[in-house]
A and B are shown apart, each in its own frame.
Chain A
Amino acid sequence: MITRLRALGAVALLLAGCTGPPPPKPVDAFQGLLNMSSANVPTDAPVTMGRPVAFMTSDNVENYIGGIKDANEYWGKRIPASLTNTVVMADIDPTYFSAQMLAVLRKHYPNIERVHDFREAVQKGMKGVILVDLKMKWMEPYGDRTNRMHVDFYFFDAGMNPVSKIGGEDEWKVPFASMEGHVQKITDSALQQIDSKMTTLVH
């Protein structure tokens, strides 16, 4: 019985997210893309987007993926393969966010293209651009045990002026020794909010 408890305790420790590499700091959504701040973009303003439409992801998305990759590598070196927490790894896999984010974009713009930056968007003749930004606050094992995801879609008109920002957010407070990180769920919820607002506000 003792060994069983020990084993569960070890798992719980892993699940509780022992302190690993620090998560990346969020940056301005326009960093590395535009010489301006995203702070003044109107929120939930109605938009009529020209066609064709392209999308790109912000540096925060790159950092989000990188942060997860780093964490996986960090723990991969410390945890035996047999004890790898596959549930948490599936939950935080950035492919999930990417796929769901793309599903929302394609629902509204079936022919949306991915571009690297605004120059490429202009060169490809895009009449509208959506910049996807993601800010993730990961649970802190010994502090605020909340996973919080905030996603913003910034809408740019043909002149590549930011005309609206539509966001969604959700969070989940991870109970101690729980493997319920619910990152997939808060991803779904945040994107669903955006999807719903887009239906109303974006034409």
Chain B
Amino acid sequence: MKDLAGQMHDVGSAYQRMTQAAARARQRAIANPLIQQYVAEAEKYRQCYDRLAINTLDALAKKLDAIDPGDTASLTPGSGTQAIATANRSPDAGAPKSPSGGPPSGTPLAASPSSGQSPAQPSPSAAPVASGTPGSPGSGSCADLRNDIAAMDAQSNALPGYIGMRVQLASLYNKLCGASATQRTEYWYTADGRQLGPVGAGDRPANAAYAATADIGQQCAGTANPSMCALAAGAISNCKSPPSDLSSACAVAGGYGDPADTVAATGGDPLPDAKLTIGGKIYNVPNACAQALAQAGDGGRTTQVVRTCPDDLLAALGQAEGKDPNIDPTAFLSGLGPLLNKGFAPPGAASKGGFDQAFCAQMENNAQVCKQRQDNMVSCIPTGNIQQPCVPQDNTNMSGQAGAFGDCYKLYSRFAGMCRMNANLRPQIATASLPKPPPAPKPVAPKPAPPPQAPKSVTGGSQAPPPPPQSTMSPQCQQLVSSYVAAAQANDGPRALAGYNALKGAGGCGVLAKVDRPMPQAQPAAPADDPRFISRGATPLSDQVVGGCNDSPAECQRRVQQLRAGVSPEAQAALFMNAVSIGLQLGATVANGMAGAMPQGGGGTNMNSIGNRPVQHTYGQGAPTRPAPRNGPSDITGTK
């Protein structure tokens, strides 16, 4: 038994090491624009849901800070005045075209002076993903993002609102990594969600309300502002001849550039199905089902859920709700949203997580900070001249650092909206995106000349070829990782140890080496005379009650059963009946007391004064010979 406990402890430590090393892996990948964005997204969500992840990410931030203060600042746009240095790490950092034909978005106005870098000399950590430099910090890829999402599926899928976040990440992945041509193709939609035709086929149809990929289109159909919804999900085709209410938001989205110019063109492996853990069992959630569930969790339509989700998942959801979808589908669907937002907590139980008002407010505030900074930003065109390294560029909202702020704004707006879950996200974005007068170009401080950059073609062919997909995890490896993580999360020592060994036996699948590390040093024991300790006084009541239960658990549990019975409806009814019974008895006693106080016999009146004279029970003339009857009043009762 001791051995087993020791093993469990070892596995527990290994799991902790794994999570900490995962943070380090993220740290190494942070320079990758995709991973950077993923981490930033994950961090914000996890602040809502998962303190474990917060701590992991906090550790990451500290380590990043030690390496490059600028990187850490980029994760916290609401803090300080430093620009978010994501311009050359934004999702389009691979060199999307500027709509104006200007420089690529990877041309920040200024990095933090403290970074000690020329703003136009991208640091190694800022190397674009498409550089294809193996082993460089920027060598992360869509495959990494995909693996990270799969890892999140394995670790966090039971958290409240997870499925909504997963849908967002899938949209992001599909947009940036273009899992397939079908997933990248955007269509025009009518306001009620009817698909019209591909965006690339021609001009915007007259009845087109919005454009989106098929999955985003489905997601946004029926929302208050579907075009804004689609844009927020990354469907920037909405910016083709955009309606006026979208123009400013399109400027924000311009920070992404055209997906056709980014790594999307290369295509990545499709994302695996999302997963949900319900009642301890893992269910696959196809994309359409995930979107339907996300919509249900967002207070939207639920009808698609039954049509798109597998039967076993529906059954599990029904069981968690306590409502069978086959018996009462209406009740089942109406309970879906709360169930999803409570992290599948059983009916009546407290939510497993939720949204903190302060956090939501912070998200909204951060969004506005980013928006303000975006509005205040100017980009510059590098000149190659040391005396005047760059000239202000009048595309303040479209690309470069401004685009990065726009990106930041967009993300935070999305989180803020999701934070409220049932609130309408779109008006908030629309309000925050009201057109503002373009800021006046700001004077640009002289900076070292940037190196000449490769010209980019307007058609988007300027981007360097992306690296080949790397470290794509095989299904077997995914299974090994998933099993191991699940066992560790379940605190199942033997199974986790077996999972660890199996993963190690399989060569680590390219992930174990990133997270494995030696056992941590054991925390030294405190001395018994530690000055922090206080000699505690007597605790007789705790000794009696807690100590009693500790000494005799079985007896204590029997007492619990009695106590439970003591508050049962039967016990309550019995108490009432007892009270009623006593009350009635009291009433009877009082009543008898009153009767006793009443004048008894003889003292009454026979109403002679107002009535006829009573018959006298006697004989008149001609009376019989027998004696006359008595005429006392109580004779008939036999009491006299």
Contacts and interface: CB of A to CB of B under 8 A. Distances in A.
A and B from one assembly?
Answer: yes
Interface of A: 2-4, 6-8, 10-11, 32-36, 42-46, 48-51, 57, 59, 61-62, 65-66, 69, 82-83, 85-87, 89-91, 93-96, 98-103, 106, 108, 111, 114, 116-119, 122-123, 125, 127, 157-161, 168, 170, 179, 184, 189, 192-193, 196, 199-203
A113 B228 CA distance: 58
B623 interface: no
A169 B542 CA distance: 21
B583 A116 contact: no
Contacts, number: 214
Contacts of B611: none
B448 to A, nearest CB: 43
Given A62-B539, A66-B541, A90-B563, A43 B51 contact: yes
A119 B527 CA distance: 8
Given A82-B578, A95-B563, A159-B523, A32 B534 contact: yes
A94 B545 contact: yes
10 nearest A-B pairs in the assembled complex, by CB-CB distance: A7-B583, A90-B566, A3-B587, A203-B12, A44-B51, A117-B536, A65-B541, A160-B526, A158-B523, A11-B579
Interface in B528-548: 528-537, 539, 541-542, 544-548
B66 interface: no
B454 to A, nearest CB: 46
B55 A45 contact: yes
B326 interface: no
Given A48-B12, A123-B528, A32 B536 contact: yes
Contacts of A168: 350
A43 B55 CA distance: 10
B487 to A, nearest CB: 11
Interface residues on B, range: 35 or more
B571 interface: yes
A99 B525 contact: no
A80 to B, nearest CB: 8
B9 A122 contact: no
A118 B530 contact: yes
B618 interface: no
Nearest to A160: B526
Contact of A86 (B11, B352, B575): B575
Residue of B531, B562, B566 most packed against chain A (CB within 10 A): B566
B182 interface: no
A48 B563 contact: no
A48 B493 CA distance: 13
B533 A119 contact: yes
Given A8-B576, A87-B566, A160-B530, A50 B536 contact: no
Interface stretch (B130-138, B249-257, B550-558): B550-558
Contacts of A35: 531-534
B51 A102 contact: no
Interface stretch (B13-21, B37-45, B238-246, B286-294): B13-21
Residue of A69, A90, A189 most packed against chain B (CB within 10 A): A90
10 contacts: A3-B583, A3-B584, A57-B539, A90-B567, A102-B556, A114-B550, A119-B529, A123-B528, A158-B525, A192-B350
Interface of B: 5-6, 9, 11-13, 15-16, 19, 51-52, 55, 349-350, 352, 488-491, 522-537, 539, 541-542, 544-550, 553, 556-557, 559-560, 562-567, 571-572, 575-576, 578-580, 582-584, 586-587, 590
A117 B52 contact: no
Q: Dominant SS at the B interface?
A: helix
Contacts of A96: 560, 563
A150 B349 CA distance: 15
A50 to B, nearest CB: 7
B553 A91 contact: no
B607 to A, nearest CB: 31
Contacts of B530: 118-119, 122, 160
Given A87-B566, A116-B539, A8 B556 contact: no
Contacts of A83: 578-579, 582
B580 A158 contact: no
B532 A160 contact: yes
B382 to A, nearest CB: 46
Contacts of B542: 57, 61-62, 65
B533 A199 contact: no
A91 B566 contact: yes
Nearest to B13: A48
Given A122-B525, A160-B532, 13 more contacts: A7-B584, A11-B576, A43-B51, A50-B522, A50-B523, A51-B9, A96-B560, A101-B546, A114-B550, A122-B533, A158-B522, A192-B349, A203-B491
B503 to A, nearest CB: 18
B584 A98 contact: no
A33 B537 CA distance: 9
Given A99-B559, A122-B528, A33 B523 contact: no
Contact of A10 (B9, B579, B587): B579
